[in-house]
Amino acid sequence: MTSRTLVAGGEPAGLTLAQGALWTYLPGMGGLMLSCREGTVWLTREGDREDHVLKAGDALQVEGRGRVVVQALDSARLCLAPTPRTEASRTREGLLLGALGVVAFSLTLPATRVAVPELGSTVVGLGRALVAAMLAGLVLAVRRERLPERRHWMGLARVAGGVVVGFPLLSALALRHMPASHSAVLVGLLPAATAVAAVFRARERPSWSFWLSALAGLGCVLGFALAQGAGQPTGGDALMLLAVAAAAVGYAEGAVLARELGSWRVICWALVLAAPFLAPVVALSVGPEMLSASPLAWLGLGYVSAVSMFLGFFAWYRGLALGGVARVSQLQLAQPLLTLGWCALLLGEPVGHGTLGAAVLVLLCVFTGVRSRVRVTPR
């Protein structure tokens, strides 16, 4: 008796089984139409209470993620035709993974705010990337991954510049001049900024109603920044807006690369390739006073290193690649409200009516963008 195992995406067009032979199918990105051309086979699959017997001329649509086992009751010939996932299915999974990423990222600003006063903005902003790079290097080494092709290097450099260096460093510098709750509202611009980046990099074309809501959201955020700064934007506001722009570029570029390399490979290689350039800068910023930092500060650094800078991107880039950059990025409209909640709960920062009102206005503006149509132009 022989046994053959096949992963989705690698199935042959035809399969011949001798009597008693076993064949195992591992569903992945799509379903499978299995037709029996000759003989008789017995089929069972995880999650299905009934077994199936297919005779010549019978066919069965196999969907879901459960393992499928087929055994030939006599010599049999099968025809296998993969069925691609529906757009709705891809969008649902993309939104689910995107939501998971948003929850992970919503704690980034409070964790950074706790760590920066004791460890310094450079150590927290760039040191997190070095810690994450060690984790990424370990994953790549265990899996024996080969270097990406040269055509991907420039894209990985843009990812590193946006989400490995740009956003972490600029946001850490900004949080020296403002509370995390204030910066959380400015991060409400990130969904619209990411959609703008998607137009240029992912070739997505949101409708005019999306752009109107994005401009309204920009007006709300700028009005909030002016009100909090007594009529003038502060240096912290400028740094946070630059951080948002850097993250938007990194998100859009990473989503494009994730469609070819896979989400986890994108962030892993971006971290590893950036590490040699970051190490000297971080080393010069390390001082003996860090030894007296509180456990809470180290916990904050640990969170932004392992979750914000590493694990969160596994789900986030995968979600953007599946559901579309412009659409899934709008889930971040909930991030300011989540962050405000964390700030009040963990840091005891007062969340005034103005801050909460600005967050709700941004939420309403960007929510319009979620409902707007987005089309993708062919390359």
What is the CATH number for 64?
A: 2.60.120.10
Domain boundary among 36, 64, 83: 83
Give the Cβ contact number of residue 87 at 10 Å.
10
E strand segments, 31-84: 31-38, 40-45, 52-55, 59-62, 68-72, 76-83
174 with 306, same domain? yes
157 with 233, same domain? yes
Q: Please answer whether residues 161 and 216 qualify as being in contact, where contact means their C-beta atoms are separated by less than 8 angstroms.
A: no
pLDDT in tens, the chain (379 residues): 444 444 444 444 578 899 999 988 776 545 678 889 999 999 998 877 889 999 998 988 877 667 888 999 999 998 887 666 677 777 888 889 999 999 999 999 899 989 988 998 889 989 999 999 999 999 999 988 889 988 999 999 999 999 999 998 898 888 887 777 777 777 877 877 887 787 777 566 667 777 777 777 767 776 766 676 545 667 888 898 899 999 999 998 998 898 888 889 999 999 999 999 999 999 988 888 888 899 999 999 999 999 999 999 999 998 988 888 877 887 887 787 788 788 888 888 777 777 777 777 777 776 676 565 555 555 4
Domain boundary among 83, 108, 131: 83
238 with 103, same domain? yes
69 with 178, same domain? no
Distance CA 86, CA 84 (A): 6
Distance CA 213, CA 298 (A): 39
- Which residues form the domain of 50? 3-83
Residue 1, exposed/middle/buried by CB under 10 A (0-12, 13-18, 19+)?
exposed
65 with 111, same domain? no
55 with 106, same domain? no
What is the number of domains present in the chain? Answer: 2
Tell me phi and psi for residue 79, to 5 degrees. -120, 130
101 with 64, same domain? no
Domain boundary among 83, 103, 123: 83
218 with 347, same domain? yes
Q: Strand 40-45 and strand 14-17: pairing?
A: unpaired
271 with 181, same domain? yes
16 with 113, same domain? no
303 with 158, same domain? yes
* pTM score of the predicted model: 0.69
151 with 59, same domain? no
